[in-house]
Structure 1
Amino acid sequence: MNKTVNAVANAPLPMTPSRQPYGKLRLAYSLATIAVLALLALYGDRFALRFATEVLLIGTAVMSLNLLIGQGGLVSLGHGALFGTAAYSAAVVAQHWGAGLPVVLLAGMATGAILGVLTALISLRTSGLFFLTLSLVFGQLFWELVFRWRDVTGGADGLRSFPKLTWLGLQLSEPLALYLLSIAVAGLSWLALHSFNKAPIGQALIGTRDQPIRMAALGYQLSRIRIAAFLVAGTAAGAAGGLYPFVNQYLSPEIVHWSMSATLIIMGVIGGISTLSGGFIGAAVYLFIQTYLSSYTDRWQLIIGLIFVLTILLMPKGIAYTFRPGRRP
């Protein structure tokens, strides 16, 4: 009898049904992603590589916005200005100090971090609709700067006259090189944001979203938590923005306009605003329709609108969350 009891007590616990397939599905998704990225690198033509690069960089900006909205409940209409201003900063720095990879990435990340902290300071005194409005006004200030400062930014004509990207004497202007760099930027940004989410400060950010009064009563400093979130998100978006000018060797002031921020939010909702991977899925869907379907119809934005509405009705948490491994129905 005692032997039987001991055998049962020492037997390994069976894996729960919800956790057992989770690891396999997660591994399958990861391998599928790596396979797609590798196939594009091996067999993609120049156009496909540039398209994938744009998806990865803009997807990184959407992913950083997902952190703010999904984890912190901070809906910002100034995030596009953050990404676009970082891109302009990198391009202007390239004009005067050369287009070395570390220089332009540092310029983009520094710009994104600074603007992210400034946006966080706005969020400390406001919330909800008031923060949404102030973030829009804040972003439009930088669009006005880019649009009017013609001698530096090119004004309405955009910015073209900056050198191609280099590193250690190597030219990185080829689509394959830019594609591989964008994979590195997107991967490192995902790792940083994922680590932030899993850290105690990431869980505290969720608490400030759901129960800000209770979190303050427990001794948490909401200002520091929000500043840290905007700092991390801004740095990630700035890194992507620092590389973005060299994809097409051109920047338009529209990238700083508030409509860019709205586009990032639409991408986030379609992909999954509460997930990091949803940023890339939403960017891929949106840019595919904009790039490919727009050659067949002028009403491609109507298609985007239909997908957006259907996503909210049928998959309110986005594509990535709906097909997330281990998700309970």
Structure 2
Amino acid sequence: MAGNRSTLVLSVVVAALAVLPLTGVPDHHLRLVAEILILGVAVMSLDLLIGYGGLVSLGHAAMFGVGAYAAALFATHVSPDLLLAIPAGIVAATLVGAVMGALVMRSANLFLLILTLLLSQMVWEVIFRWRDVTGGADGFRGIPQLTLPGGMAIDSGVDLYYVAGVLAVGAYLVAASFVNAPIGKALVGTREQPIRMTALGYSIPRIRLSVFMVSSAIAGAAGALYPFVNLYVGPQVAHWTMSATLVIMLVLGGVCTLFGGFIGAAIYLVFQTHVSSYTDRWQLVVGLAFVATVLFVPRGLGRELHQLLRPLGLGEPRVTAETDKKGTVR
């Protein structure tokens, strides 16, 4: 019953997203919502690491940035076809995530955070210095519009909004499937009882590598669409400050709630877009909102919404790691 209600809520959200352009929302507002959806997907992918795996990473921007540059380069030099450029970004980000996951999968806590930060900065250094390919500090310009398989260009805010909406729904379904699968519950088990999971025969490094690859693929999908919002991508998308921004969005929206990433991204980007038109110190406003969230809503707005909806059976399913007598996670 709870699963049916959750499906109903998802259907209502998708329907609301579908009819939003019909309400007369200006094109530039639709582009803002598309950017919120894209960054929300990136934050959701980070939530798989931090929220469900307890793996605090400051290197997630590397996968996001690699996905962005790979898709932009592919669209420019090979084909702007949506069904080719986006997968190119996903593959590139997954490969980087696999390498990073292989290097850090035996680390934890502070060592994991520092390692992911260093590896991410190495990726940024390559992007920043490889001027002939990436444009260096000036960024990569001249990106063509994405096209559908039939050749129609995705050149308006409405088109981009719908593509971002499809991406968000698809990424959410993938992330939810992973979380509710046995490996997702095993991941939660490694977060809560790593010694017991090892004693039961589970390979914690292998589980961590798996979540790194899935998280990287989702982040790469978001990054692959990101350059086509403004037809430009700069090295800041792979910088550690971008990783920190994603963490801030995650805390604002709520850790361990997949939809919380979209809430956090919306709060941050709305402040960035509208508050910055009144003052250059909009980051101070974001900082105050972040401090207020930590003090008064420590679980994040998404977790509070989750708690309100759970008695009605409308929240996301609660993920727990239980083992039977044979030690199998279920």
- TM-score, normalising length: structure 1: 0.89
Question: 1:95: Cα distance to partner?
Answer: 1.6
CA distance in 1, matches of 2:75, 2:201: 45
What is the rounded CA distance, in whole Å, between the counterparts of 2:300 and 2:6 in structure 1?
18
CA shift at 1:25, angstroms? 9.0
Distance verdict in 2 for CA 1:71–1:303, change over 3 Å: same
| Structure 2: distance between partners of 1:327 and 1:319 | 17
Instruction: Tell whether the 8 Å contact from 1:98 to 1:163 is kept in structure 2 after alignment.
Output: no
Match of 1:140 among 121, 127, 130: 121
Q: Per-residue deviation at 1:122?
A: 2.4
Shift of 1:118: 1.7
Q: Work out which of the residue numbers 275, 279, 288 in structure 2 matches 1:297.
A: 279
Q: Which has the larger radius of gyration?
A: 1
Task: Tell me, yes or no, if structure 1 residue 270 matches structure 2 residue 255.
Answer: no
Q: Which of 143, 151, 155 is matched with 1:169 structurally?
A: 151
Q: Is the 8 A contact 2:17 2:165 kept in 1?
A: no
Where in structure 2 are the equivalents of 1:112-261 lying within 5 Å? 112-167=93-148, 168-261=150-243
| Mapping for residues 271-290 of structure 1, pairs under 5 Å | 271-290=253-272
Which amino acid in 1 is paired with 2:93?
A: G
Return the alpha-carbon distance in structure 2 between the equivalents of residues 120 and 32 of structure 1.
33
> One-letter code of the match for 2:25?
G
Alpha-carbon distance, 1:114 to partner: 1.0
Q: Contact between 1:53 and 1:179, CA under 8 Å: does it hold in 2?
A: yes
State the distance in 2 between where 1:96 and 1:199 align.
38
TM-score by length of 2: 0.89
Residue in structure 2 matched with residue 326 of structure 1 by the alignment = 310
For 2:11 and 2:298, locate their aligned partners in 1 and report how far apart those are by CA, in whole Å.
24
Map Cα deviations across residues 52-81 of structure 1 (whole Å, 9 max, x no partner): 110001110000001110000011111012
Following TM superposition, by how much is the alpha carbon of 1:162 offset from its aligned partner in structure 2, in angstroms? 2.2
1:96 corresponds to 2:77: yes
Aligned equivalent of 1:34: 15
Query: What are the superposed Cα offsets for residues 248-300 of structure 1, whole Å, 9 maximum, x if unpaired?
Result: 00111111100000000000000011100000000000000001110001111
CA shift at 1:23, angstroms? 7.6
CA distance in 2 between counterparts of 1:83 and 1:28 reads 28
Distance 1:81 1:94 in 2: 20
Distance 1:28 1:146, change over 3 A: closer
Q: Residue 310 of structure 2: SS of its match in structure 1?
A: coil
In the alignment, structure 1 segments of 5+ residues that lack a partner are: 1-14
Summarize the Cα distance change of 1:209–1:158 in structure 2 as closer, same or farther, 3 Å threshold.
same
CA 1:233/1:25 → structure 2, altered by over 3 Å: closer, same or farther?
Answer: closer
Offset of residue 163 of structure 1: 1.5
Percentage identity across aligned positions? 49
RMSD: 2.0
Which of 77, 99, 107 in structure 1 is aligned with 2:88? Answer: 107
Residues 37 and 281 of structure 1, relative CA distance in 2, 3 Å threshold: farther
Alignment partner, residue 328 of structure 2: none
Question: Would the alpha carbon gap of residues 111 and 42 (structure 1) be closer, same or farther in structure 2, given more than 3 Å must change?
Answer: farther
Q: Please give the alpha-carbon distance, in whole angstroms, between the structure 1 residues aligned to 2:270 and 2:18.
A: 16
Q: Match for 1:193: what amino acid?
A: A
Q: Structure 1, residues 16-41: CA drift from partner, whole Å, max 9, x if none?
A: xxx8xx98798568635632552245
Contact 1:41-1:49 at 8 Å conserved across structures: no
Separation in structure 2 between the aligned mates of residue 286 and residue 298 of structure 1, nearest angstrom: 15
Which whole-Å CA distance do the structure 2 matches of 1:196 and 1:112 have between them?
Answer: 18
User: 1:6 matched to which residue of 2?
Assistant: none
CA contact (8 A) 2:194 2:204 kept: yes
Distance 1:37 1:63 in 2: 21
Between the two proteins, the alignment pairs up a number of residues equal to 309
5+ unaligned residues in a row in structure 2: which ranges?
313-330
In structure 2, the CA distance between the partners of 1:131 and 1:292, relative to structure 1 (3 Å rule), is: same
